[in-house]
Amino acid sequence: MKEFVLASGNSHKADEFSELFDPEIILVKAAPEKLEVVEDGLSFQENAFKKAEGYYKKLKCPIVSDDSGLEVEALPGELGIHSARFGGEDLSSEEQVELLLEKLKEEENRKAYFVCVLCFYINPEEVYFFEGRSHGHISSSVQGSGGFGYDPVFIPENLDGKTSFAENPDWKMKNSHRSKACKMASQFFGR
């Protein structure tokens, strides 16, 4: 089994990752403190690397980090690595969802996908990346109250084509972009 510290001060996020990884292969613990890492990379991979490297330099132990976001085909460059800041730093998740729905109001192309890039930073010479994606589309209204962020408007294509992530959080937990990246990492480290 390999132990990693999660590049996040959020213990709930560490718990979520612990559920996604096979515990006989990968154990994830929360970082003892939250570090401020400037995420100014131009890709999910760059930002995941910056977080992992920053925590590694401070804690001197194997680190796992993730960078995730929503890509919307009709709004190239507006979300993606900027998903958490879409519309401005001061908007709540609910306001960001409303802004997204407003921007897509007259748009026929509602294709979208979530991306999760995991960076396993074991040491400066040993760094691994795994990417998972969930393809689907953006609904025309908020559906469900589970999940977080853009979950109430994201309809994954592999469910039933009409149920949002927020309406079926158990399905999301097993089939999301984050879950897919974690499965790939477990397969790799479990060999």
- Using only C-alpha atoms, the chain has a radius of gyration, in whole angstroms, of 17
What's the pTM?
A: 0.93
Question: Would you place residue 147 in the very low, low, confident or very high pLDDT band (cuts 50, 70, 90)?
Answer: confident
Mean pLDDT throughout 87-96? 93
> CA-based diameter of the chain, in Å?
51
- What does each C-alpha distance from 161 to 29, 40, 123, 156 come to in angstroms? 35, 35, 42, 6
Q: Which SS3 state, helix, strand or coil, does residue 136 take? A: strand
Contact (CB, 8 A) for 89 and 97: no
Helix, strand, coil % over all residues of the chain, rounded to 5: 35, 25, 40
Beta-sheet strand order (sheet of 154-156):
26-30, 2-6, 63-72, 111-123, 126-138, 154-156
Q: Which SS3 state, helix, strand or coil, does residue 88 take? A: coil
Q: Where are the domains of the chain?
A: 2-189
Tokens of 86: 């879409």
Question: Would you place residue 14 in the very low, low, confident or very high pLDDT band (cuts 50, 70, 90)?
Answer: confident
The Cα–Cα gap between 122 and 18 comes to 18
Task: Write down the CATH number for the domain with range 2-189.
Answer: 3.90.950.10
CB neighbour burial string for 107-116, b if at least 16 within 10 angstroms, e if fewer: eeebebbbbb
- The catalytic site residues sit at 67
Tokens of 75: 């709004």
pLDDT over 70 percentage in the chain: 99
The residue among 60, 78, 61 whose CA lies nearest residue 69 is 78
Task: Write out the H or E segment, with its range, that includes residue 127.
Answer: strand 126-138
| pLDDT at residue 82 is higher than 90 | yes
Question: Would you place residue 25 in the very low, low, confident or very high pLDDT band (cuts 50, 70, 90)?
Answer: very high
- How crowded is residue 86: how many other Cβ atoms within 10 Å of its Cβ? 23
